[in-house]
Structure 1
Amino acid sequence: MSNENNGIVEDRPALIVRFFLTYRFYILGAASLLIFALVASGVYRLTAEVRYDEVLAALSDTSWSAIALAILFTGLSFFALVLYDVNAIDYVGRRTPFPSVAVTAFIAYAVGNTVGFGPLSGGAIRFRAYSRLGLSPGEIARVIAFVTLSFGLGLLSVSALATLAVAPRVAGILGIDAGWLRAIVLAVLAVLAAVFFIGRAGKGIDIRGFSLRLPDSRTTSRQFLVSALDIAAAASVLYVLLPETHVGWPTFLAVYAVAIGFGVLSHVPAGLGVFEAVIMAGLSNVISIDQLLGSLVLYRLIYYVLPLLLSTILLLVTEMRQLTLRPRVAEAAQLAGKLAPALIATLSLVLGTMLIFSSVVPTPDSDLDVLATYLPLPIVEGAHFLSSLLGLLLVVAARGLGQRLDGAWWVALGGAAVAFAFAFLKAIAVFEAALLALFIVALLVNARAFDRHSSLLRQTLGPSWLAAIGVILVTAFVILLFVYRDTEYGHDLWWQFEFSEEAPRGLRALLGLAIAASALALSSLLRPAHFRTEGPTKEELERAVAITMEQDLADANLVRMGDKRLLFSPSGRSFIMYGIHGRSWIALADPIGAEEEFPELVWQFVSAARAGGGRPAFYQISPPLLSACADVGLRAFKLGELAVIDLAGFEMKGSRFANLRQSYNRGLRDGLTFSVVPPGAVDAVLADLRAISDGWLAEHETKEKTFSLGAFEDAYVAAQPVAVVRLEDKIVAFATLMVTNTRHEATVDLMRFAPEAPKGTMDFLFASILEYLKAEGYRQFNLGMAPLSGMARREAAPVWDRVGGTLFEHGERFYNFKGLRAFKSKFHPRWEPRYLAVSNGTGAALALMDVTFLIGGGVKGVIAK
């Protein structure tokens, strides 16, 4: 079977693949939601004999001493989690103040444990914080990798050892043969021991040209102890909350480790449902389900919600002026303030979920009696119904709060204030009101952190957020079915309005949530995709050129090529130039224009890319932009270094530039002369320049490049000055100059010479250009970027750096980058790092490939050089 469209024939498998690639995020989101629904259904069946009142009784039977022990073990576990980061920073060879690391790690784990996707959510927090503590992007990437791998290997090691110690007991719980279980565990331990042995002296593993350095024995041993402390303490939180049982702690530790592993792999926020399903499946035959459920509820509150609340309180306390008296504590306080949006967004998500869940559980009879005495039924019914919708509003606002939208701040503040009032009107929910009050105070204290002027209603919810909302609603539905398991459902329930009728009230709230969530999902799914313009209009190009000429970045003149799309700031004073290939939306260099608009412009670009189903990336950006990129959840990968010459201190006298001076003097002896043709006079020599360019391309068997390089196009070449070298009045070499009116920086783009040009002509040309620019009052000269320059090549270098380095080594063959570092080094420049900012390592590799195609003119252009 095939489908013919405009002469293109595609078979059915190709159509299926294209459909999946186009809608894969929505397909994966729907699949995750389906899997969660199946797990939730399994949990509901496991609790068939359990009643809501029995769970409440189990909760009330938990002693305060057990709760105190659970809080103690939670603190011990989070102390171990902080040590993960301490060890990671020590592993990369840096020293940072412990208070700042502790604050960062505590908030990162509090947020990561709650929202899931720990390496992504917690990683973004670490990047924001540690970059402000002086760690480079490569070092932060290594810290994140160290923390992630340490947890995974530690979890595997601890669970394997615990399982081996109590294999018969665990085998009986899991229903498998004890011999097979021991064999599997021993195989896992053998692999871990081999890894430990290989890395005992800090040696590496070579895999197809990639070298991965393993931690030495001291680091591995120390980290294993930290992992063991973390997992053991976390397991003890739940263990002390369980009723008296003959299940030993080692057996429980093995079951707990397996449950945590499945919860992490599911990527469901906090492993909700998945963790509970594994625990109940493993322990339901030895502990009554009602008591187990009660313990699990308390465990969630103590280990997940309590640290999040403490993080919020810590955020509020650090705003107190008294803490600024101590420098190190003040630094930690400032760091906590920088992380406020992520923390408050997570709290908004948790509180919204709490309001939704509370709408489907019954109100205590004593509270209903008080409400019936003082309030009419319509007020109670209305407060209950609207509170559930306010919960959904806070969940939606959480996304905007994470993006620092002022509109989301207002929505969250208003929604939380109304929900605070309704907490007393619907159920006298003091605890719920207290949490909302804490949230409101956090919003007010950190109002300045939400400085992006954007409407929450204009934001489109992506598939991950829609799936998260789906998970919350499915959970609420299962809770409602569980709580009112003995209720006989019928159509008349919808119209029953009595203080004592709780099931109808919960059903109406859930129906309202389903309708509102469905409308929200349809609005996001049916909203028109971002329109991909094919190129700037003449007016847009003229406006971009005008902005370029009034700022310092000489490379911004590449906008004159007209081959890149343009995204202007709302004021029109700044813009980003970018290209699209495949799913990659690649911004070239830093934004251009007013610096104060750059952070918002970064958000604007990322939002546009994601709305269009694209993968946002920033290519060849400078260190000052990394903070803005971190705020939108992008990670930095080093590309190389930019060579910059300080023209004020440039002199060809002395030994430093002896070789350059010799080349310049030799050129003069050979009869070479230098001049600069102003833009208005370039047309007169354009034919000669084109002849040299065509000959140079033919000689090097290459084609014109685009995107980050200029091409020989008449209008582009004639728009800026051209430096030429003549031999006997004939032009034998030229370089197009890129300058701006500020005279802060100058650079060259096209550099080409004729075959008859004497040896050393390009050195003569560069030396002459530098002397000319210095005389004209320019402050620095941009020699361009040297790929791979300054990249970490030690065994401890991040894997991502090596992947990027390999791709660029491969790319140099296409772009004639070989020898650039050596050539630029002759001018003794100052080297400045340049980065690629994307969401993750896989995105970095894909973005680099797409950059290759953009520069080479597509796949055919790359193949044809």
Structure 2
Amino acid sequence: MGAGEDVAEAGESWFSRNRRLINLAAMLLVLAAVGIAISRLTSEVRYEDILAAWSDTGWPTLIGAVLLTGLSFAALTFYDFGALTYVGHRPPLPTVAVTAFCAYAVGNTAGFGPLSGGAIRYRAYSRLGLTPEEIAKVIAFVTLAFGLGLAGVAAVSLLVMAEGIAPLVHVDALALRLIGLAILVPLVALPFAGRLGGETRFGRLSRIALRMPRPAAVGRQFLVTALDVMASAGVLYVLLPPDANIDYPSFLGVYSVAVALGVLSHVPAGLGVFETVIVAALGRQIDVDQVLGALVLYRIVYHILPLALASLLVSVIELQRAATSPVGRAIRVTGGRLVPPILATLSLTLGAMLIFSAVTPTPAENLAYLAAFVPLPFVEGAHFIASLLGLFLIVISRGLAQRLDGAWWAAVGASLAALALSLLKAVALVEAGFLVFFALALLASRGEFTRSASLLRQALTPAWILALATVVIGAIVVLFFVYRDVDYSNELWWQFTFESEAPRSLRAALGFTILASCIAIWSLLRPALTRAGPPISEALAMAAAIVGEQDAADGNLVRMGDKNVLLSADGKAFIMYARQNRSFVALFDPIGDREAWPELIWQFVEMARTEGCRAVFYQVSPEALALYADAGLQAYKLGEIASVDLAEFHLTGGKRAALRQSMTRGSRDGLTFEFVEPAGLPPLMDDLASVSDAWLEQHNTREKGFSLGGFDPDYILSQPAAVLRLHGRIVAFANVLLTDTRQEGSIDLMRFSPDAPKGSMDFLFLKLMEHLKAEGFRTFNLGMAPLSGMSERQIAPIWNRVGRTVFEHGERFYNFRGLRAFKAKFHPTWAPRYLAVSGGINPVFALMDATLLIGGGLKGVLAK
């Protein structure tokens, strides 16, 4: 490899490791550029002019904008209907309508639509029987349908209205038509992949596959998008002044481009990017102050109003506990699932409202009223603290989205404090009204916030830091815009009078900027959660003590010492895990007290996110899937685990004739069984090691790890062993995993000599099960059969179909069918086991990392 290739590989590795920070820096640069552009485009506009433009907007115009907003959201709900039909589901109409409305109200306001709106869809549709993969398809469908539909509307507008749009964007009409044609041709061709049953892949390394719908379905979705975009464009169009020198079709083309650029910028809600495009395109046709006034009203009508309605809707649903009809129960359950993300978005919005209020002037009559009753220091203090509370509401909104009880208490306290301060600083009745509504909505939904996690341990992700930066940078831009006629001097910082609006806003801006910077830096640079807690040896000792008191015998794998341990705050439960590449892989469900599981799962997910990795749970039970779903994890079937009910275990009857023959053959061959307690193992260790070494050499393999034990003396001596002797010589053994509850027994390491009689392992299993039954154990865990039990139906998820194919035809690489057949001879009951992955990541990469952990690296995986 040459020096140039080394440099390229090192550069690619560096970009891969720092991808999130690079994306965050790029978005911050976009925000800064947008702020500069807005400042230059509005250099001749005054704040008073915008207020005048607002006052000139009549109620008939506002009512028309509200009606068009309702039409737009009604069209948006058809995206979800089409997506659910596409995946083969038809949930109740009211449930879909409520879910879709709330998802778009949150996604349009908070930004990151596939994430924020997707979280709402996941919570609602998972309760209606949709699998995580189907919900992911719904989210991908609505996102893609909107993107392609928006591109189609923009392309058609450019083709049809090129002559009218050209003067607005200063581009030749022919060039606009060519651009529209270049967009439209692939859009028309794309759905015909669906006619051929093809799949379209998206993302790096083609990880996401989406089967294209039929052309007829694409046509219907395009009409839905056209209706949505036309209605939403109409909201802004009717808010423009009546003498605006632009026709609606031309404006529709400009609006489509502005929305598309806002979406592509990844800035929350396209804030600033959308406004910059609109002002740049219309500023020469309409007074900029009137355009800005219309844009502010547009944000209120099309974004804030639907969010407030969504919050009111779920609050009413929470309060209507008396509904008994099936439809009423379905809506109530759906509303309960939507409460956290909607209130989180409302918290973020109200926080932004408080911050922007801190950098804009208070009406003179309000200040005059306050001067007669409130001392100046109280007004100054209320103004400054309210802006910090606004920042606080933005930060804790993430905790609300995660249903933290601490975030609920903090939000209630912050909203009530901000309510008092908003009246004290400016008699802001509208602001106070929103805060009262928010506090009442929180009180009505107290039961939805049950996670007893520390709010201080929740690290802000780059997306949340970007949202925080968007508000702060936007507020600074507004500050300089509002007070552009005020000459700066150092004395401004120390002016304290009722009339000194600019100094008051300047001090507030400095306060929330410094606080926001400290929060972002602390969140990005704070130590990882894995570094906290006791040393690894002490943690392992605590985990081993917990295992002894639980029913899950496989928890004894923690004694291998090759996995880290994350203990619950009360020390009654733990997760054992290891890191591989960008995956934190937890083995099994949490071990220990079930009440500690939800918080422990969330803590593990947060720990992985803090390290910039995905959280993976390997071999989890179906009983705990709801806990993983609440943590935002998606479940994929891995296989089935086999368990024998020892109370019903016997060797009589025709079905067990083969087992009786194995017992008879073993006794005839001279095999004898011995159950050796840990205290009796030290004298046998040399013989056991010889058997193990011979087995490894015969199978041309090496020790595995993670979900399998290896021949480690400390591990072997920690539990009993089942031993087979042939004429007094040890020829086979297995270490036995037990707990003090005697609920379950299992085995891990199974080794036999090359000269052991055929069927020795069958003989060992049968003798061990008879022994455990006599000792009062209830079940015997035979372990998991990978990829077993996958659905064969054509409508099954692609993960199941691929797994079934590998199970049927993958004998060359792994004895999938043989392993299940071996376990099946003991007539066990089968239960599914799953892989739970965070963040909607395709499970293949997580499973690959888990496989590398088990195999001890790539060499171990490739070895036989």
Match of 1:113 among 103, 108, 111: 108
Residues 319 and 444 in structure 2, CA contact (< 8 A), matched pair in contact too: no
Change (3 A) 1:20 1:782: same
Aligned to 1:213: 211
Change (3 A) 1:93 1:518: closer
By how many angstroms is 1:561 displaced? 0.6
Residues of 1 paired with 2:209 and 2:372: CA distance?
74
Residues of 1 paired with 2:17 and 2:199: CA distance?
39
Q: Are residues 1:255 and 2:254 paired?
A: yes
What is the one-letter code of the residue matched to 1:223? Q
Residues 406 and 454 in structure 1, CA contact (< 8 A), matched pair in contact too: yes
Aligned to 2:451: 452
By how many angstroms is 1:853 displaced? 2.8
Residues of 1 paired with 2:435 and 2:810: CA distance?
54
Residues of 2 paired with 1:643 and 1:129: CA distance?
33
Match of 1:235 among 227, 233, 236: 233
Q: Are residues 1:53 and 2:60 paired?
A: no
Residues of 1 paired with 2:520 and 2:207: CA distance?
46
What is the one-letter code of the residue matched to 2:58? S
By how many angstroms is 1:95 displaced? 4.0
Residues 120 and 337 in structure 2, CA contact (< 8 A), matched pair in contact too: no
1:756 is paired with a residue of what secondary structure?
A: coil
Residues 788 and 809 in structure 1, CA contact (< 8 A), matched pair in contact too: no
Residues of 1 paired with 2:9 and 2:532: CA distance?
27
By how many angstroms is 1:306 displaced? 1.4
Residues of 1 paired with 2:23 and 2:182: CA distance?
32
What is the one-letter code of the residue matched to 1:836? L
Aligned to 2:98: 103
Between stretches 142-151 and 461-470, larger displacement belongs to: 461-470
Change (3 A) 1:46 1:658: farther
Residues of 2 paired with 1:562 and 1:847: CA distance?
22
Aligned to 1:418: 417
Change (3 A) 1:611 1:764: same
Once the two structures are superposed, the pairs formed by residues 350-499 of structure 1 within 5 Å of their partners are: 350-499=349-498
Once the two structures are superposed, the pairs formed by residues 832-851 of structure 1 within 5 Å of their partners are: 832-842=831-841, 844-851=843-850
Residues 800 and 841 in structure 1, CA contact (< 8 A), matched pair in contact too: no
Aligned to 2:183: 188
Q: Are residues 1:26 and 2:21 paired?
A: yes
Change (3 A) 1:22 1:205: closer
2:706 is paired with a residue of what secondary structure?
A: coil
Deviation per CA, 1:189-208: give whole Å up to 9, x if none: 33233332231365546999
Aligned to 1:568: 567
Deviation per CA, 1:475-495: give whole Å up to 9, x if none: 001111111222222223223
Residues 212 and 795 in structure 1, CA contact (< 8 A), matched pair in contact too: no
Residues of 1 paired with 2:179 and 2:797: CA distance?
31
By how many angstroms is 1:353 displaced? 0.6
Between stretches 785-794 and 157-166, larger displacement belongs to: 785-794
Residues 645 and 780 in structure 2, CA contact (< 8 A), matched pair in contact too: yes
What is the one-letter code of the residue matched to 1:235? A
Unaligned runs of 5+ in 1: 4-9
Change (3 A) 1:385 1:543: closer
Aligned to 1:288: 287
Change (3 A) 1:212 1:316: closer
Change (3 A) 1:114 1:562: same
Once the two structures are superposed, the pairs formed by residues 811-826 of structure 1 within 5 Å of their partners are: 819-826=818-825
Q: TM-score normalised to the size of structure 2?
A: 0.90
1:590 is paired with a residue of what secondary structure?
A: strand
Aligned to 2:86: 91
By how many angstroms is 1:812 displaced? 9.3
Residues of 2 paired with 1:463 and 1:153: CA distance?
27
Residues 720 and 739 in structure 1, CA contact (< 8 A), matched pair in contact too: yes
Change (3 A) 1:194 1:290: same
Between stretches 804-813 and 130-139, larger displacement belongs to: 804-813
Change (3 A) 1:152 1:638: farther
Aligned to 1:6: none
Aligned to 1:266: 265
1:298 is paired with a residue of what secondary structure?
A: helix
Residues of 2 paired with 1:465 and 1:643: CA distance?
44
Residues of 2 paired with 1:697 and 1:366: CA distance?
88
Change (3 A) 1:783 1:534: farther
Residues 533 and 565 in structure 1, CA contact (< 8 A), matched pair in contact too: no
Residues of 1 paired with 2:609 and 2:827: CA distance?
42
Residues 788 and 807 in structure 2, CA contact (< 8 A), matched pair in contact too: no
Change (3 A) 1:769 1:177: farther
Residues 642 and 783 in structure 1, CA contact (< 8 A), matched pair in contact too: yes
Between stretches 681-690 and 593-602, larger displacement belongs to: 681-690
Aligned to 1:748: 747
By how many angstroms is 1:114 displaced? 2.0
Deviation per CA, 1:66-109: give whole Å up to 9, x if none: 32222223223323333322332332223433333333333222
Residues 588 and 618 in structure 2, CA contact (< 8 A), matched pair in contact too: yes
Deviation per CA, 1:412-442: give whole Å up to 9, x if none: 2222112111212222211100000011112
Residues of 2 paired with 1:487 and 1:808: CA distance?
74
Aligned to 1:597: 596
Residues of 2 paired with 1:362 and 1:792: CA distance?
64
What is the one-letter code of the residue matched to 1:31? A
Residues of 2 paired with 1:649 and 1:843: CA distance?
41
Residues of 1 paired with 2:608 and 2:368: CA distance?
54
Change (3 A) 1:741 1:205: same
Residues of 2 paired with 1:642 and 1:128: CA distance?
28
Deviation per CA, 1:569-595: give whole Å up to 9, x if none: 111111111112334322111101010
Between stretches 783-792 and 561-570, larger displacement belongs to: 783-792
Residues 807 and 817 in structure 2, CA contact (< 8 A), matched pair in contact too: no
Aligned to 1:320: 319
Residues of 1 paired with 2:17 and 2:533: CA distance?
20
Residues 208 and 842 in structure 2, CA contact (< 8 A), matched pair in contact too: no
2:788 is paired with a residue of what secondary structure?
A: coil
Change (3 A) 1:182 1:338: same
Residues 573 and 594 in structure 1, CA contact (< 8 A), matched pair in contact too: yes
Residues of 2 paired with 1:765 and 1:389: CA distance?
69
Residues 203 and 216 in structure 1, CA contact (< 8 A), matched pair in contact too: no
Residues 642 and 831 in structure 1, CA contact (< 8 A), matched pair in contact too: yes
Residues of 1 paired with 2:162 and 2:821: CA distance?
62
Q: What is the RMSD of the two structures over their aligned residues, measured on CA atoms?
A: 3.5
Once the two structures are superposed, the pairs formed by residues 748-827 of structure 1 within 5 Å of their partners are: 748-774=747-773, 776-791=775-790, 819-827=818-826
Q: TM-score normalised to the size of structure 1?
A: 0.90
Between the aligned residues of both structures, percent identity stands at: 56
Q: Are residues 1:137 and 2:132 paired?
A: yes
Aligned to 2:221: 223
Residues of 2 paired with 1:607 and 1:768: CA distance?
45
What is the one-letter code of the residue matched to 2:745? A
Deviation per CA, 1:591-615: give whole Å up to 9, x if none: 0101011011112223333344543
By how many angstroms is 1:685 displaced? 4.1
What is the one-letter code of the residue matched to 2:101? F
Residues of 2 paired with 1:730 and 1:321: CA distance?
74
Residues of 2 paired with 1:725 and 1:471: CA distance?
69
Residues 790 and 803 in structure 2, CA contact (< 8 A), matched pair in contact too: no
By how many angstroms is 1:795 displaced? 6.5
Deviation per CA, 1:335-380: give whole Å up to 9, x if none: 3223322222221111111000011111122222322333333332
Aligned to 1:276: 275
Aligned to 2:699: 700
Aligned to 2:622: 623
Residues of 2 paired with 1:703 and 1:757: CA distance?
20
Residues 643 and 830 in structure 2, CA contact (< 8 A), matched pair in contact too: yes
Between stretches 456-465 and 267-276, larger displacement belongs to: 456-465
Residues 202 and 217 in structure 1, CA contact (< 8 A), matched pair in contact too: no
Match of 1:42 among 26, 37, 40: 37
Aligned to 1:127: 122
Unaligned runs of 5+ in 2: none
By how many angstroms is 1:116 displaced? 1.8
Deviation per CA, 1:700-750: give whole Å up to 9, x if none: 221111111111222322333333445555544433332323333333322
